Structure 1
Amino acid sequence: MPDFASDPMMTDLVHLAVALAIGFLIGFEREHSHAEEARQHTFAGARTFSLTALAGGLSGLVDEGLILPSLMLFSLAGLTAVAYWATAREKPGAGGTTEIALLLTFLLGLAAVRGHVMEAAIGGVSTAIILSIKQSVQRWATALTEEELYAALRLLAISVIILPVLPDEAFGPYDALNLRDIWLMVVFISGLSFLGYWLIKLAGSGRGVLLTGFVGGLASSTATTLSLSRFAKSGVSAGELAAGIVAANVMMLIRIGVLVAALARDVLVALAPGLVAAALAGGAGVLWLRRGREPMAEEAELDLGNPMEIKPALIFAALLAVISVAASFGAEQFGQSGLMLVALISGLADVDAITLIAGRKASGGEIGMGAAAYAIMIAAASNIVLKAGMASVIGGKPLGLRVGAIFAAMIAAGAAALLVL
């Protein structure tokens, strides 16, 4: 039985078949797209693309150098340019997507026979997918506001441009600072906030206060508490608003769990009983607040602002650095009690920062897993107490009493579970 795998001719035929398949796939997508647009006369369809990919493959086999492939590519580019010019004269403003795709198809066919079969196949499928999502891309482009587009670009900037160039080495007091680690956490937190923002946008505010609380809590439980508290003066039920605020803070506990899981899973094992108990108490509180209530007719609009402003990201980075140094100082001078004091104070400003610091120090062996779990729960409790006061001051006494009672139950349940289990 012949060994086809070691037969050069069979290998070339297989590579040509891959090139032909790539061309047909891209051409078929173009054919379908043109039919959808009711275009009777098109520059290139399934057959043209298939032949172009095959030409690219054959030119690569006939000439092992680049002379013949280059000549054929330039010829194809000239033919494509003439065809585009004729189309543009007949239909001003016509796009050149099909023409560019044809040139790419030739290169993919050439790559398939030059030892890059997998890369060519991936490129062909990716090209077909990109070509097929034209309508979706147009809808996304028109639906995006200028602020949202800039927010996405900022997220890409801080993660793709800034992060890779930062040094990954410890410095500063107690060697507590690491620019790469600090900025990585900025990217992670910003990404969570960005995800939360889009969940709110896609789900819509029409799902009512409760869903607004759950989804808004993923982006910022503090901003959600503030926003929902303001609705108390507009006639929205204090019970409904309290349920939304509690839901946002249950999501905060879930977010803490996600952060700790990403940093130090051993800390999550120690912290999980407290988080689960507090979240269950909060969930029970939401059910109690909403007992017998009809869904709201009016929708709650949540103003979270732009999730990717550069200034808040820089402030968070500075806060992370300060808390890192303070935590190292407190732990060295006063032991675990110093770390707990730092957690209590920093939790008033931001629970994510001390969560990241405690998780990182525990994973590095600087503090015990239990100490890290206690510090994170203290910060969460401090943050929750602050938001109870916020709800009371902004939303009034009826809202403050409801939120405060559930928050007290959450703190008590979390503390009891953490101490007992």
Structure 2
Amino acid sequence: MEKLYQYLPEELVTFILVTVFSLLIGLSLRRISLKREGETTLFGTDRTFTFIGILGYLLYILDPVDYRLFMGGGAVLGVLLALNYYVKQAQFHVFGVTTIVIALITYCIAPIVATQPSWFYVMVIVTVLLFTELKHTFTELAQRMKNDEMITLAKFLAISGIILPMLPNENLIPDVNLTPYGIWLATVVVSGISYLSYLLKRYVFRESGILVSGIVGGLYSSTATISVLARKSRKASPQEAPEYVAAMLLAVSMMFLRFLILIGIFSVATLTVIYPYLLIMSAVSAGAAWFLHSKWKRPAVSGATDEDEDGSNPLEFKVALIFAVLFVVFTIATHYTLIYAGKGGLTLLSFVSGFSDITPFILNLLQGTGSVPVSLITACSMQAIVSNIAVNMCYALFFSGKKSSLRSWILGGFGCVIVANVLLLLFFYFL
């Protein structure tokens, strides 16, 4: 926008912008008013808001030093808005003040355009238009929210914005890279990704199909998602079995992308080495899922989420506590394994970690283990993931039941992914 001032007078550009922005706000309010409340409750029309913006600009440029005219005009506008609100409340029983606030924002557009950079005033206009149009969306969102949803958000803000900055960054055990700040930082990052997945699953893809449930759930926890899908599959028909296994494999595919994000946050050096392998395995898992989904003609599968099964809060204190404890355990285990068993012991530990949550083990490697080279961190991360996929396959077989029609599909689908992982790991070793 600033480049236009080189070719056109600044006053002309500012006047046009103020007029257009004010008109857009007025049109948005007029449309919402006619659709939901009725024209009588609106403070003027779209032209009125355009004139409010123009009036603000005129009074602003007539007294550009003390701004007395601008402040006086704002006071008069405030009185008119107050009278309008009183009439709406008395005659139409409308108590909202959104229109009044937007009218005052419209009046302030002129000094904002004249004094602020283009990105800022465009951001203000976009925000006003979006929040004006999303009224009905926010109403539906508030109706769907659980009673403790704001408490959940407050928990996340507390652990990330209050607790984390207050923790010391000094080793708890001499010569062991284990600090309160590092422990909690890993917890905050993982909780943030899990919380985002939880919000997407609950509010964006609430009525999604089985496949979408696998995709979104994989960002949170592939193990939990696979276990839930396996339990749900007990009620499914044999024709629907491939769809559930495809969703499980999509959860595995998203697990690779989740670790790609975590590795990028904590260790760029490791990311530059491991990202081709993680992307390939994510594509292999997604390809196997697509094969299962497309090969067989199946009826539509209902993906409505059962809150009792998979709508759990990812920020529960016990979840964070378990993660922190596992992080400490793997940090200490990794340190002393390197001392007494060397790199071979760390390789064995990576496979053993797959029987639990592998995220603390991998994040511990990424946050620094002293003399461990990036190549070994990459190999151990891949080995832990392979081990965890094998454990997830066992979970899927167990929770789906002994007589489930999914068993052959689980063995085939997960088997292909595990074999591909092992081949890729061997390629990494012999490269």
Instruction: Give the shorter-chain TM-score range.
Output: 0.7 to 0.9
Please report how far the alpha carbon of residue 5 of structure 1 lies from its aligned counterpart in structure 2 after TM superposition: 5.6
The 1:170/1:400 distance shift into structure 2, 3 A limit, reads farther
- 2:39 matched residue in structure 1: 40
Identify the match of residue 339 of structure 1 among 346, 350, 358. Answer: 346
- 2:298 matched residue in structure 1: 295
- 1:308 matched residue in structure 2: 314
The 1:361/1:98 distance shift into structure 2, 3 A limit, reads same
Equivalent residues in 2 for 1:11-410, closer than 5 Å: 11-37=10-36, 39-41=38-40, 42-61=42-61, 62-114=63-115, 119-148=120-149, 150-159=151-160, 161-162=161-162, 165-166=165-166, 169-173=169-173, 174=175, 176-201=177-202, 202-203=204-205, 207-208=209-210, 210-231=211-232, 233-234=234-235, 236-237=237-238, 239-240=241-242, 241-272=244-275, 274-275=277-278, 278-279=281-282, 282=285, 286=289, 293-296=296-299, 298-299=301-302, 303-311=309-317, 312-361=319-368, 366-397=371-402, 403-404=410-411, 406-410=413-417
- The question of whether the paired residues in 1 share the 8 Å contact of 2:227 and 2:396 is answered with yes
- The question of whether the paired residues in 1 share the 8 Å contact of 2:218 and 2:252 is answered with yes
Residue identity matched to 1:383: N
Q: Which moved more, 1:112-121 or 1:226-235?
A: 112-121
Q: Give me the whole-angstrom Cα distance separating, in 1, the residues matched to 2:251 and 2:115.
A: 55
**Superposed CA RMSD:** 3.7
The 1:264/1:31 distance shift into structure 2, 3 A limit, reads same
Please report how far the alpha carbon of residue 16 of structure 1 lies from its aligned counterpart in structure 2 after TM superposition: 4.3
Q: Give me the whole-angstrom Cα distance separating, in 1, the residues matched to 2:93 and 2:246.
A: 56
Please report how far the alpha carbon of residue 226 of structure 1 lies from its aligned counterpart in structure 2 after TM superposition: 1.7
- The question of whether the paired residues in 2 share the 8 Å contact of 1:166 and 1:179 is answered with no
Seq. identity, %: 23
The 1:85/1:150 distance shift into structure 2, 3 A limit, reads same
Q: Give me the whole-angstrom Cα distance separating, in 1, the residues matched to 2:266 and 2:201.
A: 27
- The question of whether the paired residues in 2 share the 8 Å contact of 1:168 and 1:181 is answered with no
Alpha-carbon displacement from aligned partner over 1:152-209 (angstroms, at most 9, x marks no partner): 55445544x337734573432236235555444434323433343455454456634x
Q: Give me the whole-angstrom Cα distance separating, in 2, the residues matched to 1:358 and 1:46.
A: 60
- The question of whether the paired residues in 1 share the 8 Å contact of 2:177 and 2:368 is answered with no
- The question of whether the paired residues in 2 share the 8 Å contact of 1:58 and 1:110 is answered with no
Residue identity matched to 1:305: G
Please report how far the alpha carbon of residue 371 of structure 1 lies from its aligned counterpart in structure 2 after TM superposition: 0.6
For residue 65 of structure 1, give the secondary structure of its aligned residue in structure 2.
Answer: coil
Alpha-carbon displacement from aligned partner over 1:39-67 (angstroms, at most 9, x marks no partner): 33331333332332333333333151254
Please report how far the alpha carbon of residue 330 of structure 1 lies from its aligned counterpart in structure 2 after TM superposition: 3.1
Structure 2 unmatched ranges of 5 or more: none
- The question of whether the paired residues in 2 share the 8 Å contact of 1:22 and 1:125 is answered with no
Alpha-carbon displacement from aligned partner over 1:287-321 (angstroms, at most 9, x marks no partner): 77668643145535553223433312343234334
Q: Give me the whole-angstrom Cα distance separating, in 2, the residues matched to 1:79 and 1:289.
A: 65
Please report how far the alpha carbon of residue 258 of structure 1 lies from its aligned counterpart in structure 2 after TM superposition: 3.2
- The question of whether the paired residues in 2 share the 8 Å contact of 1:154 and 1:308 is answered with no
Please report how far the alpha carbon of residue 93 of structure 1 lies from its aligned counterpart in structure 2 after TM superposition: 3.5
Q: Give me the whole-angstrom Cα distance separating, in 2, the residues matched to 1:121 and 1:246.
A: 43
- The question of whether the paired residues in 1 share the 8 Å contact of 2:172 and 2:180 is answered with no
Please report how far the alpha carbon of residue 84 of structure 1 lies from its aligned counterpart in structure 2 after TM superposition: 0.5
Please report how far the alpha carbon of residue 225 of structure 1 lies from its aligned counterpart in structure 2 after TM superposition: 2.1
Q: Which moved more, 1:225-234 or 1:178-187?
A: 178-187
Identify the match of residue 420 of structure 1 among 412, 424, 427. Answer: 427
The 1:170/1:53 distance shift into structure 2, 3 A limit, reads farther
Please report how far the alpha carbon of residue 353 of structure 1 lies from its aligned counterpart in structure 2 after TM superposition: 2.0
Residue identity matched to 1:138: T
- The question of whether the paired residues in 2 share the 8 Å contact of 1:151 and 1:306 is answered with no
- The question of whether the paired residues in 1 share the 8 Å contact of 2:156 and 2:315 is answered with no
For residue 349 of structure 1, give the secondary structure of its aligned residue in structure 2.
Answer: coil
For residue 39 of structure 2, give the secondary structure of its aligned residue in structure 1.
Answer: coil
The two structures have a TM-score, normalised by structure 1, of 0.81
- The question of whether the paired residues in 1 share the 8 Å contact of 2:195 and 2:315 is answered with no
Alpha-carbon displacement from aligned partner over 1:90-136 (angstroms, at most 9, x marks no partner): 12143111111111222332333445665334323322232222233
- The question of whether the paired residues in 1 share the 8 Å contact of 2:5 and 2:13 is answered with no
Structure 1 unmatched ranges of 5 or more: none
Q: Give me the whole-angstrom Cα distance separating, in 1, the residues matched to 2:392 and 2:116.
A: 61
For residue 209 of structure 2, give the secondary structure of its aligned residue in structure 1.
Answer: helix
Q: Which moved more, 1:44-53 or 1:289-298?
A: 289-298
Q: Give me the whole-angstrom Cα distance separating, in 1, the residues matched to 2:60 and 2:401.
A: 76
Please report how far the alpha carbon of residue 324 of structure 1 lies from its aligned counterpart in structure 2 after TM superposition: 3.1
Residue identity matched to 1:122: M
Residue identity matched to 1:256: F
Give the length in aligned residue pairs. 413
Q: Give me the whole-angstrom Cα distance separating, in 1, the residues matched to 2:181 and 2:125.
A: 36
The 1:104/1:247 distance shift into structure 2, 3 A limit, reads closer
For residue 177 of structure 1, give the secondary structure of its aligned residue in structure 2.
Answer: coil
The two structures have a TM-score, normalised by structure 2, of 0.79
